[in-house]
Amino acid sequence: MKLQAENEPYDEINITPMLDLAYVLLIIFIIMTTASVQGIKVDLPKASSAPSLAKPKTKAITITADGKLFLDTYPVTMAELETRLKAFSAEIPDLPVVIKGDAKVQYEKVIEVMDLLGRLDITHLGLVTQKLVK
């Protein structure tokens, strides 16, 4: 091995630290892309504009095409939905709720949920739609 004098230029570049950084970034990218939570798949109706109603304490009620109810991502019956929403609205007086109804769900099921919200005096209500793509 040849010793290098003080004023001579380097002939090679050590790329090991750069490769270490690239591997760390690759691992972080893989973890972040696979860690996303999907939720429940519903076919949302189309709308011309869909404002974002997401707030940190917003509760989402999902109605699937076959009429099943979910509070956030947990399956519930209508009675369970009522008791859980009562508890949440007792903690948060102006509890915001969004309804995500499948486009093929019977309109009566959405009205039942909206009537329940009215009985519980939950007035901050939103209906989730998809933005219409032209």
One digit per residue, the tens of pLDDT, for the chain of length 134 reads 556 667 777 777 788 888 999 999 999 888 877 766 556 677 777 776 655 554 457 889 999 888 899 998 899 999 999 999 999 888 888 889 999 888 888 888 888 999 999 998 888 888 887 777 66
Distance, CA of 41 to CA of 102 (rounded, Å): 9
Amino acid found at 14: N
Does the model's pTM come out above 0.75? Answer: no
* Ordered domains of the chain (ranges, CATH): 46-131 (3.30.420.270)
Distance, CA of 125 to CA of 123 (rounded, Å): 6
> Which 8-state DSSP code applies to residue 25?
H
For residue range 92-111, list pLDDT tens digits in order: 888 899 998 888 888 888 88
68: CB partners within 8 A, 6+ apart = 75
Distance, CA of 50 to CA of 102 (rounded, Å): 15
